[in-house]
């Protein structure tokens, strides 16, 4: 395919669209932080990819488990006669302690509670120990956590677990979530920085007499401002550059035994997402040595040996969940909580025959699957519109265990794709602008191909290429605006070209003009071959016909009205005759690629070499002249043959009192042709008449050669003859040079040649 040169306006339009789309991508998060349409739509494409990925096999951890607090669990703990306790909501902590004990006995590798233990409940019943002693329910739960050594408890920014639980558990996991504006949970925080105050400072703050609000403390250089709850008082605590304070400033001297003279007022420590903590237990990741490189979008976790996991995160430490496992997935071991409580009772009673160990080596998540506002933890994920959000933790854990993370293309890559795809679509649209429908189908195919690539890249590598803005902004908008431009501007120009040339050149030439890149209807210099052909004998024919009508009128003494009818009929026949001859010439011109300029009375003017610069224009012109002469000859033969019929018709006309028709005469064609440089362009006014024509000395010479051509002859100039020698030597050899002639407007004599056109008669048959 021949590439079409670019034009400034469509190029600027294409670049402007790309620039605006890129600018929108850069500014949209700033201008519309809560209603970023592009980001919302992009995240919907992420949902579609996540769902598509479910249909393809991917590595999945084999040791994930879920202990569900279901409606049946609530009923069993309240009413099951086998259990020796019966509690309604909310359960005392001893229930969870016994669950931990059973999972530890079965050999679970880790147990994570997606349950908030936000405060101590001293009102819960005591727990009877095998040694006959009693423990508070909270203490019993903390003891079991400590003995198991693998329990992870939940925390949120609004509810941190009491020290009793936090210090006896293996770790505290963040279970806070932040859904997108459409209510879908797609990403989680890898960690949440938690400010942990010095125990002494917390103890003092909790004193009812002091009652300091540590959550709203303000840390300033050299001091910490601690507001008092229910008061406008501010306690100012001096600190050094490392935020160390003197306990004596709070409790005075002397200090109790074991209290240091200086202590760190607080430390900011990460509370890791629950799923990460579970995976850390499986992979032996040392989270204390995690490398938090948020500016470069990565968190590096190191495990035993050379094991390493790199979590791709944004500047706030968020990462997208690889939603691979749905609720009820058969690869996740699942059991209702009451089943484990029953097994625990059997185990305590020594009834160990038949006990199962489904949770051996498993990392277990304990969460609610019950219905009810206080119990249900459900919501939308990319996979399902309504599901248990506890699935977040096993999907995060699975991602770390298998080492598969959602890696989103960075902003520079997205901008580069918008630019590349936009330019590609602009190029396709421009190159195929003469076939807009085909161009649109090609762009649609490119869009489909890009979407398929985006889905395939995500499914195979979990790499998230941007879809929405590159497709909608870079491709659809780009193509749409260019199509509008082409329809409004290019098509308007095409209609203008058609209006000027559709009747003066062949349809093929019109189509070439519409595809031409550098065509201009403004004036320019061009080498062309000019053609003049005049109908010889037409004036004589007209005079004869008028004389015949006049004689008929006088002979029959026709009145004015009848005479006018006779003259009008004769005029119509005269015009039909000349049009018949001119049409033959015009047909020959257009058939041989010429441009029909105008009719000058009974003369035809045409030229070759414009509006399209096509060689050999002189050869095309001469061949058209030959075709015209032969067409006139055939027309003359047909007209002379028709005279026999006309004689019989005239007898009938005379009998009817009508003037006889003059015999049909054979008219001849005189042709003059010249090649040279002329001025060519559109002449006239848009308000009146446009004419695409040529003028100059070489045009005048062609007209003069037509004047000396006589009847039935083709006279060409020396310049035209040179072109024939170059492009058709055989035809040039048939030309006969005539004596030079002097014509009006040309000072020197002009060399001329005659082109013979009559077909020689066939040789006589042998005797």
Given a contact cutoff of 8 angstroms between Cβ atoms, the answer to whether 458 and 466 are in contact is: no
Mean pLDDT value across residues 261-278: 94
For 72-98, the pLDDT digits (tens) are 998 899 888 788 778 887 899 999 999
Mean pLDDT value across residues 675-682: 87
Could you tell me how far CA 711 lies from the centroid of its own chain?
Answer: 68
Distance of alpha carbon 420 from alpha carbon 221, whole angstroms:
50
pLDDT reported for residue 493: 58
pLDDT band of 507, cuts 50, 70, 90: low
pLDDT band of 635, cuts 50, 70, 90: very high
Helices (H), 318-467: 337-348, 391-402, 411-431, 436-461
Helix (H, G, I), strand (E, B) or coil at 71: helix
Helix (H, G, I), strand (E, B) or coil at 335: strand
How many Cα atoms are found within 13 Å in the side-chain-facing hemisphere of 174? 20
pLDDT reported for residue 763: 53
Distance of alpha carbon 337 from alpha carbon 377, whole angstroms:
16
- For 320, phi then psi, to 5°, come to -80, 140
Nearest 5°: the CA angle 571, 576, 530 is 115
Distance of alpha carbon 157 from alpha carbon 103, whole angstroms:
28
Token pair belonging to 412: 């520079």
Helix (H, G, I), strand (E, B) or coil at 366: strand
pLDDT reported for residue 139: 94
Task: Report the percentage of the chain scoring pLDDT > 70.
Answer: 92
How many Cα atoms are found within 13 Å in the side-chain-facing hemisphere of 398? 24
For 4-36, the pLDDT digits (tens) are 666 788 889 899 999 999 999 888 877 776 667
Q: Which residues contact 748 (CB under 8 A, 6 or more apart)?
A: 742
Q: Is residue 418 pLDDT above 70, yes or no?
A: yes
Please list the helix, strand and coil fractions of the chain in percent, rounded to the nearest 5, in that order. 45, 20, 35
pLDDT reported for residue 519: 47
Given a contact cutoff of 8 angstroms between Cβ atoms, the answer to whether 602 and 535 are in contact is: yes
Distance of alpha carbon 493 from alpha carbon 498, whole angstroms:
9
Nearest to 176 by CA among 103, 283, 272, 70: 272
List, in order of start, the domains of the chain with CATH numbers.
8-43+409-498 (no CATH), 59-190+273-284+317-402 (no CATH), 199-264 (no CATH), 512-754 (3.30.70.1230)
For 681-719, the pLDDT digits (tens) are 777 665 545 577 888 899 999 999 999 998 899 999 999
Give one DSSP letter per residue of 614-656, joined into a string: -S-HHHHHHHHHHHHHHHHHHHHHHHHHHHHHHHHHHHHHHHT
First to last CA, the chain: 61
Helix (H, G, I), strand (E, B) or coil at 341: helix
pLDDT reported for residue 431: 86
Helices (H), 163-232: 163-168, 199-206
Distance of alpha carbon 300 from alpha carbon 322, whole angstroms:
18
Helix (H, G, I), strand (E, B) or coil at 279: helix
Q: Is residue 767 pLDDT above 50, yes or no?
A: no
Burial class (CB in 10 A: 0-12, 13-18, 19+), 24: middle
Given a contact cutoff of 8 angstroms between Cβ atoms, the answer to whether 673 and 708 are in contact is: no
Q: Is residue 518 pLDDT above 70, yes or no?
A: no
Better-scored residue on pLDDT, 487 or 735: 735
Q: Is residue 376 pLDDT above 50, yes or no?
A: yes
Distance of alpha carbon 367 from alpha carbon 275, whole angstroms:
13
Residue that the structure tokens 């001469």 belong to: 622
* Number of other CB atoms surrounding residue 8 within 10 Å: 7
Mean pLDDT value across residues 376-386: 90
For 100-146, the pLDDT digits (tens) are 999 999 999 999 999 999 899 988 888 888 888 889 999 999 999 99
Q: Is residue 394 pLDDT above 90, yes or no?
A: yes
Torsion angle of alpha carbons 630, 631, 632, 637, nearest 10°?
A: 90
Three-state SS sequence of 495-548:
HHHHHHHCCCCCHHHHHHHHHCCCCCCCCEEEEEEEEEEEEECHHHHHHHHHHH
Q: Which residues contact 696 (CB under 8 A, 6 or more apart)?
A: 676, 677, 678, 679
Distance of alpha carbon 27 from alpha carbon 415, whole angstroms:
13
pLDDT reported for residue 497: 56
Token pair belonging to 612: 């399209």
User: In Å, what is the CA distance from 455 to each residue of 3, 384, 420, 442, 451?
Assistant: 32, 19, 19, 20, 6
Better-scored residue on pLDDT, 37 or 6: 37
Q: Is residue 599 pLDDT above 80, yes or no?
A: yes
pLDDT band of 577, cuts 50, 70, 90: confident
For 41-84, the pLDDT digits (tens) are 999 999 999 999 999 999 999 999 999 999 899 889 988 878 87
What beta strand segments (E) does 253-307 contain? 263-264, 266-272, 291-293, 298-302
What beta strand segments (E) does 357-408 contain? 363-368, 378-379, 387-388, 407-408
pLDDT reported for residue 245: 92
Token pair belonging to 198: 């010095």
Nearest to 682 by CA among 421, 500, 452: 500
Distance of alpha carbon 404 from alpha carbon 56, whole angstroms:
14
Burial class (CB in 10 A: 0-12, 13-18, 19+), 313: buried
pLDDT band of 512, cuts 50, 70, 90: very low
Distance of alpha carbon 439 from alpha carbon 449, whole angstroms:
15
Q: Is residue 383 pLDDT above 60, yes or no?
A: yes
Averaged pLDDT score across all residues of the chain: 87
Given a contact cutoff of 8 angstroms between Cβ atoms, the answer to whether 173 and 153 are in contact is: yes
Q: Is residue 660 pLDDT above 80, yes or no?
A: no
Mean pLDDT value across residues 340-358: 88
pLDDT reported for residue 462: 95
Strand partners, 64: 363
Strand partners, 694: 680
pLDDT reported for residue 651: 82
Q: Residue 19: in which H helix or E strand, if any?
A: helix 8-31
For 172-210, the pLDDT digits (tens) are 999 999 998 889 999 999 999 999 899 888 888 888 888
Q: Is residue 316 pLDDT above 70, yes or no?
A: yes
């Amino acid at each position: 395919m021949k590439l079409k040169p670019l034009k400034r306006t469509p190029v600027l339009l294409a670049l402007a669209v790309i620039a605006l789309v890129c600018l929108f991508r850069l500014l949209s998060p700033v201008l519309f932080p809560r209603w970023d349409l592009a980001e919302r739509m992009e995240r919907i494409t992420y949902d579609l990819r996540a769902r598509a990925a479910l249909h393809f096999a991917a590595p999945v951890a084999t040791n994930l488990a879920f202990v569900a607090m279901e409606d049946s669990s609530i009923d069993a703990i309240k009413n099951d006669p086998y259990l020796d306790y019966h509690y309604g909501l909310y359960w005392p902590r001893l229930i969870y302690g016994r669950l931990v004990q059973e999972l530890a006995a079965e050999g679970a590798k880790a147990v994570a509670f997606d349950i908030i233990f936000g405060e101590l409940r001293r009102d819960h019943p005591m727990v009877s120990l095998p040694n006959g002693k009693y423990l508070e329910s909270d203490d019993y739960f903390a003891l079991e956590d400590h003995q198991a050594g693998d329990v992870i408890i939940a925390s949120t920014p609004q509810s941190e677990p009491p020290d009793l639980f936090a210090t006896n558990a293996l770790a505290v996991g963040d279970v806070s979530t932040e859904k997108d504006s459409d209510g879908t949970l797609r990403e989680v925080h890898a960690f949440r920085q938690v400010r942990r105050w010095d125990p002494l400072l917390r103890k003092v703050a909790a004193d009812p007499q002091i009652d300091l609000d540590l959550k709203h403390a303000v840390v300033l250089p050299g001091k910490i401002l601690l507001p008092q709850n229910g008061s406008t008082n501010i306690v100012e605590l001096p600190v050094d550059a490392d935020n160390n304070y003197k306990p004596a400033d709070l409790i005075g001297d002397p200090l109790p035994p074991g209290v240091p003279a200086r202590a760190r007022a607080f430390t900011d420590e990460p509370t890791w997402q629950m799923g990460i903590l579970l995976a850390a237990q499986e992979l032996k990741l040392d989270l204390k040595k995690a490398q938090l490189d948020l500016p470069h979008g990565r968190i590096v976790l190191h495990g035993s040996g050379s094991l390493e996991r790199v979590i791709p995160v944004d500047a706030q430490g968020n990462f997208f969940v690889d939603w691979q496992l749905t609720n009820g997935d058969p690869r996740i071991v699942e059991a209702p909580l009451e089943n484990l409580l029953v097994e625990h009772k059997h185990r305590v009673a020594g009834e160990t025959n038949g006990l199962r160990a489904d949770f051996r080596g498993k990392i277990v998540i304990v969460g609610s699957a019950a219905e009810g506002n206080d119990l249900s933890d459900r919501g939308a994920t990319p996979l399902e519109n309504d599901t248990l959000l506890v699935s977040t933790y096993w999907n995060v854990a699975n991602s770390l265990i298998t080492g598969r993370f959602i890696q989103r293309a960075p902003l520079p890559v997205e901008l580069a794709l918008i630019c590349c795809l936009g330019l590609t679509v602009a190029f396709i649209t421009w190159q195929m602008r003469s076939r807009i429908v085909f161009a649109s189908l090609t762009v649609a195919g490119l869009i489909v191909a890009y979407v398929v690539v985006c889905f395939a890249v995500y499914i195979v590598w979990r790499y998230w290429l941007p879809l929405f803005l590159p497709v909608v902004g870079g491709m659809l908008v780009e193509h749409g605006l260019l199509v509008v431009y082409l329809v409004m501007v290019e098509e308007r120009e095409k209609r203008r070209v058609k209006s000027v040339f559709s009747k003066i050149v062949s349809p093929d030439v019109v189509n070439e003009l519409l595809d031409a890149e550098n065509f201009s209807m403004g004036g320019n210099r061009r080498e062309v071959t000019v053609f003049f052909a005049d109908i010889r004998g037409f004036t004589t024919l007209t005079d004869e016909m008028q004389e015949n009508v006049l004689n008929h009128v006088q002979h029959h003494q026709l009145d004015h009205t009848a005479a006018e009818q006779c003259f009008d009929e004769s005029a119509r026949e005269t015009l039909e005759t000349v049009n018949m001859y001119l049409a033959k010439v015009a047909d020959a011109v257009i058939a041989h690629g010429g441009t029909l300029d105008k009719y000058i009375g009974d003369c035809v003017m045409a030229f070759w070499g414009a509006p399209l610069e096509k060689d050999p224009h002189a050869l095309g012109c001469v061949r058209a002249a030959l075709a015209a002469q032969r067409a006139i000859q055939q027309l003359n033969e047909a007209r002379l043959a028709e005279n026999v019929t006309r004689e019989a018709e005239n007898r009938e006309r005379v009998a009817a009192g009508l003037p006889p028709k003059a015999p049909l005469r054979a008219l001849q064609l005189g042709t003059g042709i010249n090649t040279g440089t002329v001025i060519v362009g559109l002449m006239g006014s848009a308000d009146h008449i446009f004419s695409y024509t040529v003028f100059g000395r070489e045009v005048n010479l062609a007209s003069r050669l037509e004047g000396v051509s006589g009847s039935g002859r083709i006279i060409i100039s020396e310049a035209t003859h040179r072109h024939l020698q170059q492009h058709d030597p055989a035809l040039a050899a048939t030309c006969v040079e005539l004596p030079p002639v002097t014509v009006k407007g040309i000072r020197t004599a002009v060399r001329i040649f005659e082109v013979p056109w009559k077909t020689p008669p066939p040789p006589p048959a042998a005797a």
